Amino acid sequence: MRSVGPVRIIGPVLDDELFIPLATYESPLWPSVERGARVTAAAGGIRTVIHDDRMTRSVLFEAPDAETASAAIHEIRTRMADLAAVAEAGSRYTKFLDMHDQVVGNLLFLRLEMHTGDASGHNMVTAGADRVVQWVLDTFPSLQYVSVSGNYCSDKKPTAVNAILGRGKSVIAETLIPEKLCSRFLKTTPHSVAELNTKKNLIGTMIAGGIRTANAHYANILLGFYLATGQDAANIVEGSQGITYATVRDGALYFSCTIPNIIVGTVGAGKNLPFVSENLERLGCTVDRPAGDNARRLAAICGAAILCGELSLLAALTNQGELMEAHTRLERG
């Protein structure tokens, strides 16, 4: 584990310069993210926006037939206030946000979405879902319980529903880098990065059959960040879904990373480990703030780190041989 930076982050969630901890066995990741940090800081920083914030759990029921299943769904939609009260009962931090549903034959899938304060929210939404399950069974005796998790969540799986509706914090990180800084720090041009992003990330991912995703290596930075800050590392599966967008604006490189499924918390399992609590404190994520603000700050920092690593790798790939030379020098030298 090493800290890289300083990373200059601006926006409505935070305005700060930070060193970001990353835990990884891929040693070239540290200097790569650090190079992204240097060039973006010189360009004025990385602007981050939390576009959305929700954790999900889907519950699954079985009806005698499709007509009963469909009728139950329509009735549940008319009683959303009752469902919300049940989901929130027993927790002062759980806030019900929305529900999506699907009927497949005689099966009913309800995707419950909740805000969970500064916790990543896995257990909080499952507890809320358990309460909803019992309420549905009491209200609709013809339905039978199948599972408190029906995979329409979707937890730790790459799915279109997560990329479309979001699961966790939906973060957008963006920066604008003048051509002279691209040349000085990245040894490339805005046009080269933008063109490679289209050909590699967009077209390459399309022919590979990517699911609502187009990026070079979000998972690398995400895993390093998750391990260093005490997160459930398996959530990199849906977390690594995201879209890198790059274009040339008046000769400068506009570069953004949209990551709809960053799942992080500043309280809960793992956060009491000494190195984790130290890292969270250094990132300013243990301050007394309104519920949810520390977790949103952490997600914004994560998004900025992803942008740094993504930008640096794409720049390296525009130069033939640079990627392998760096790995050989840093891992085998």
Q: Which of 53, 155, 174, 232 is catalytic?
A: 232
DSSP string over 98-127: EEEEEEETTEEEEEEEEE-TTB--HHHHHH
Is there a catalytic annotation at residue 65? no
Helical (H) or strand (E) element with 136: helix 122-139
Residue 146: which of 235, 238, 69 has the closest Cα? 69
Separation CA 259–CA 239 (nearest Å) = 7
List, in sequence order, every residue forming a beta bridge with 168; answer none if it has no partner.
54
Q: Which of 62, 179, 195, 327 is catalytic?
A: 327
Q: Which two tokens stand for residue 82?
A: 């009752």
Q: Which of 16, 26, 62, 88 is catalytic?
A: 26
Q: Tokens 């879904």 map to which residue? A: 241
List, in sequence order, every residue forming a beta bridge with 306; answer none if it has no partner.
none
Separation CA 101–CA 73 (nearest Å) = 7
Pairing between β-strand 2-10 and β-strand 46-62 as defined by DSSP bridges = parallel
Separation CA 16–CA 306 (nearest Å) = 17
The residues, ordered by sequence, that sit 6+ positions from 126 with a Cβ below 8 Å of its Cβ are 57, 148, 149
Is there a catalytic annotation at residue 191? no
Question: How far, CA to CA in Å, does 285 sit from each of 1, 185, 191, 228?
Answer: 19, 30, 37, 13
By the 10 Å C-beta count (0-12 exposed, 13-18 middle, 19+ buried), 87 is classed as buried
Per DSSP, which regions of the chain are E strands? 2-10, 16-22, 46-62, 95-104, 107-115, 144-147, 168-177, 243-249, 252-262
By the 10 Å C-beta count (0-12 exposed, 13-18 middle, 19+ buried), 261 is classed as buried
List, in sequence order, every residue forming a beta bridge with 254; answer none if it has no partner.
176, 247
Separation CA 296–CA 310 (nearest Å) = 21
Is there a catalytic annotation at residue 327? yes
| Catalytic sites, residue numbers | 26, 232, 327
